[in-house]
Amino acid sequence: MNRPAQSLRFLASSTTLYMTATVVQSAVSFFLIPLYARSLTKEEFGAMDQVMQFVMIVQLVAGMGLPLGMVRGFYLSADSEDTRRRMVGALVNLVVPLVAIIALVVFVFSSQLAALIFAGNGKTVWMQWCAGIILISSIVSLPFAVLRTLQISKTYMFWSVIITLVNGGLVVAAVLMHRCSLTTLLVIGLATNSVGAAGLLPGFLKYARLNFDFGLLRPMFAYGLPQLPNAAARKAVETAGRYMLPHFCGLAEVGTLVMGFKIAMILDTMILAPFATAWQPYFYSQANNPEARVVFGRVTGLAVMFLCFMMLLVEACKPIILLFLGGGRFTDSGPVVSALLVGFVLNGVQYTVAPGLHLTRRLVQEAGCMIASALACIGLNLALIPRFHAAGAALAQTGGYGIYLCITFFLAQHYYPVKYPWKKIGPAVGAAVVCFVVINAVGAIWLRLLVALLFAAACIGFDPTLPGSARSLARHVAAKFAVRIRPAVNV
Distances (CA, A) of 127 to 115, 187, 188, 237, 255: 10, 11, 14, 23, 18
Residues 6+ apart with CB under 8 A from 118: 47, 50, 126, 246, 251
Cα angle value 212/68/310 (rounded, 5°):
155
Q: What is the pLDDT of residue 14?
A: 65
Q: In this structure, is residue 10 part of a structural domain? A: yes
Distance CA 464, CA 273 (A): 27
Residue 4 has pLDDT above 80, yes or no: no
Distance CA 272, CA 351 (A): 9
Nearest to residue 174, comparing CAs of 163, 165, 185?
A: 185
Q: In this structure, is residue 185 part of a structural domain? A: yes
Residue 404 has pLDDT above 50, yes or no: yes
pLDDT above 70 covers what percent of the chain?
88
- What integer is the mean pLDDT of 236-261? 91
Judge whether 126 and 138 are in contact, CB under 8 Å: no
- What integer is the mean pLDDT of 327-353? 90
Structural domains counted in the chain = 1
Q: In this structure, is residue 489 part of a structural domain? A: no
Distance CA 197, CA 277 (A): 21
Distances (CA, A) of 188 to 164, 172, 228, 231, 306: 11, 11, 30, 28, 36
Domain holding 128, by residue range, is 3-482
Distance CA 369, CA 357 (A): 11
- What integer is the mean pLDDT of 344-371? 86
Q: What is the pLDDT of residue 290?
A: 82
- What integer is the mean pLDDT of 70-91? 77
Q: In this structure, is residue 491 part of a structural domain? A: no
Distance CA 139, CA 208 (A): 13
Q: In this predicted model, which residue has the larger pLDDT, 377 or 40? A: 377
Q: In this predicted model, which residue has the larger pLDDT, 390 or 464? A: 390
Judge whether 269 and 26 are in contact, CB under 8 Å: yes
With bands split at pLDDT 50, 70 and 90, how would you rate the model's confidence at 409? very high
Distance CA 402, CA 416 (A): 21
DSSP annotation of 329: S
- What integer is the mean pLDDT of 305-330? 89
- What integer is the mean pLDDT of 134-146? 88
Report pLDDT digits (tens) over 456-473: 999 888 877 777 666 665
Distances (CA, A) of 328 to 15, 36, 90, 323: 35, 13, 51, 6
Nearest to residue 254, comparing CAs of 73, 152, 352, 393?
A: 393
Q: In this structure, is residue 490 part of a structural domain? A: no
Judge whether 188 and 133 are in contact, CB under 8 Å: no
With bands split at pLDDT 50, 70 and 90, how would you rate the model's confidence at 3? very low
Q: In this structure, is residue 60 part of a structural domain? A: yes
Highest-scoring range by mean pLDDT, 24-33, 141-150, 167-176, 477-486: 167-176
Residue 488 has pLDDT above 50, yes or no: no
Residue 326 has pLDDT above 90, yes or no: no
- What integer is the mean pLDDT of 263-286? 77
With bands split at pLDDT 50, 70 and 90, how would you rate the model's confidence at 430? very high
Q: Which residue type, as a one-letter code, is found at position 53?
A: Q
Report pLDDT digits (tens) over 224-245: 776 778 788 888 998 999 999 9
Over the chain, what is the mean pLDDT?
84
Chain centre to alpha carbon of residue 230: 15
Residues 6+ apart with CB under 8 A from 307: 267, 271, 272, 344, 345, 348, 349
Judge whether 254 and 124 are in contact, CB under 8 Å: no
Q: In this structure, is residue 26 part of a structural domain? A: yes
Report pLDDT digits (tens) over 189-213: 999 999 988 888 888 888 888 889 8
Start-to-end C-alpha separation, the chain:
33
Cα angle value 341/345/350 (rounded, 5°):
145
With bands split at pLDDT 50, 70 and 90, how would you rate the model's confidence at 476? low
Distances (CA, A) of 435 to 211, 338, 423: 57, 13, 19
- What integer is the mean pLDDT of 92-106? 92
DSSP annotation of 339: H
- What integer is the mean pLDDT of 248-265? 89
Q: In this structure, is residue 351 part of a structural domain? A: yes
Q: What is the pLDDT of residue 379?
A: 96
With bands split at pLDDT 50, 70 and 90, how would you rate the model's confidence at 478? low
